[in-house]
């Protein structure tokens, strides 16, 4: 069940409460991705984000290239299904900062405003997917829910809902989409040609067997 947005009440914990929750969290961790409490009360830790993107992303060809690099230094491709990335963040990082850091980590040139972070959780034997507001803090949600991803996981999706607003994309991005579509069309045509060529070969072989003088 998808929910457009759910406002989570942010309970302000004392430093001692945070310390106790982190100790409990770390005692349940099985993948060594523990949280650390700093002297200033800010804690750091890891979150895993599943990429569920329907459209291609534009990736910079080189780390040294800036976001405004020429289009020939960028390429667009579809992410494979089930792609999960791990980020190290702090308790002060907001959803918007997490999205920007995730895209920067993988040199994604697309505008961060095109994406939204969702949380997926289990409630009463149902799975809910809710869009998080830009000011929420993912590491706080992770700490409160505990380390089990069955209880809470994060998902990155395109921000737009409904029909795609193609006018929001740049010309290089649209050109990359066209190149991908052309390649997919040619690949599908070649598959069809090979399939019918195989059928034709079998039919011709069968005809030769029937017409062969007995």
CA dist., res. 166 & res. 190, Å (int): 29
pLDDT of the chain along its 214 residues, tens only?
Answer: 454 455 555 567 888 999 999 999 999 998 889 999 999 999 999 999 998 888 778 887 654 444 444 445 677 777 777 789 999 999 999 999 999 998 888 788 888 888 999 998 877 778 888 889 888 999 999 999 999 988 899 999 987 555 555 666 677 777 877 887 788 888 888 988 998 898 888 888 888 777 766 5
Give, in order, the Cα–Cα distances in Å from 102 to each of 26, 45, 48, 210. 24, 15, 10, 64
The crossing angle, in degrees rounded to 10, of helices 15-28 and 138-145 is 60
What pTM value is reported for the model? 0.65
Angle at 8 between CA 85 and CA 94, to 5 degrees: 45
């Amino acid at each position: 069940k998808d929910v457009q947005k759910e406002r989570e009440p942010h309970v302000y914990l004392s430093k001692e409460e945070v310390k106790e929750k982190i100790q409990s969290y770390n005692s349940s961790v099985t993948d060594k991705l523990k949280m650390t409490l700093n002297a200033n009360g800010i804690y750091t830790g890891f979150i895993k984000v599943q990429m569920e993107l329907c459209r291609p992303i534009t990736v910079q060809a080189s780390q040294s290239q800036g976001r405004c690099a020429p289009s020939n230094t960028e390429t667009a491709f579809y992410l494979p299904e089930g792609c999960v990335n791990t980020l190290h963040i702090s308790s002060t990082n907001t959803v918007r900062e997490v999205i920007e850091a995730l895209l920067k980590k993988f040199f994604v040139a697309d505008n961060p405003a095109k994406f939204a972070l969702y949380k997926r959780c289990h409630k009463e034997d149902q799975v809910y997917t809710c869009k998080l507001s830009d000011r929420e803090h993912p590491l706080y949600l992770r700490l409160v829910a505990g380390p089990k991803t069955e209880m809470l996981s994060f998902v990155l999706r395109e921000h737009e809902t409904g029909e795609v607003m193609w006018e929001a994309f740049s010309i290089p991005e649209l050109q990359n989409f066209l190149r991908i579509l052309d390649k997919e069309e040619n690949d599908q045509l070649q598959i069809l040609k090979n399939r019918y060529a195989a059928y034709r070969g079998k039919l011709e072989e069968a005809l030769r067997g029937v017409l062969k003088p007995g």
